[in-house]
Amino acid sequence: MILNNSVTFEVDLKKEIIKKFDIPTYYRSSITGRIKESRRIRDLRKQDFSPALIDFGPIQFFIARHFGFCYGVENAIEISYRALEENEGKRVFLLSQMIHNQEVNTDLQSRGIQFIMDTDGSHFVAWNEIKKDDVVIIPAFGTTLEIENLLLNKGVNIQKYNTTCPFVEKVWNRAEKLGTENYTIIIHGKPKHEETRATFSHSAGNGHSIIVRDMDDAIELSHYILGNKPTEEFYKTFAGKYSGGFLPDQHLQRVGVVNQTTMLATETQAIADFIRQAMITKFGEAEIKNHFADTRDTLCYATNDNQDSTYELLKTNADLAIVIGGYNSSNTSHIVDLCERSFPTYFINSDKEIKSREEIQHFNYSKKELRTTHPFLPEKNPLKIVLTSGASCPDTLVDRVLLKIISYFPDAKLIDEVLAAFK
Distance of CA 87 to the CA centre of its chain: 29
- One-character DSSP codes across 156-186: ---STTB---HHHHHHHHHHHHHHHTTPEEE
The full length of the chain comes to 423
- Residues in Cβ contact with 342 at an 8 Å cutoff, skipping those fewer than 6 apart: 313, 314, 318, 321
The pTM (predicted TM-score) of the whole model is: 0.87
Name 389's bridge partners.
324
Beta strands (DSSP E) in 294-393 are 320-324, 345-348, 360-364, 369-373, 383-389
Q: Could you read off the pLDDT tens digit of each residue along the chain, which spans 423 residues? A: 333 333 333 434 444 455 677 888 888 888 999 999 999 999 988 889 999 999 999 999 999 999 998 888 899 999 999 999 999 999 999 998 777 788 888 899 999 999 999 887 889 999 999 999 999 999 999 999 999 999 999 999 999 999 999 999 999 999 999 999 999 999 999 999 999 999 999 999 999 999 999 999 999 999 999 999 999 999 999 999 999 999 999 999 999 999 998 888 888 889 999 999 999 999 999 999 999 997 775 667 788 889 999 999 999 999 999 999 999 888 899 999 999 999 999 999 999 999 999 999 999 998 899 999 999 999 999 999 999 999 889 999 999 999 999 999 999 999 999 999 887
Alpha-carbon separation of residue 389 from 14, 116, 127, 201, 211 (angstroms): 23, 27, 35, 30, 27
Which bin fits 368, alpha (ψ -120 to 50), beta or left (φ > 0)?
left
Report, at the CATH architecture level, how domain 72-153 is classified: 3-Layer(aba) Sandwich (3.40)
Which CATH code for domain 31-70+301-419?
Answer: 3.40.1010.20
> Does domain 166-290 match CATH 3.40.1010.20?
yes
Are both 31-70+301-419 and 166-290 of the same fold? yes
Residues tagged active-site = 195
Domain ranges (residues) in the chain: 31-70+301-419, 72-153, 166-290
What 3-state DSSP class applies to 60? strand
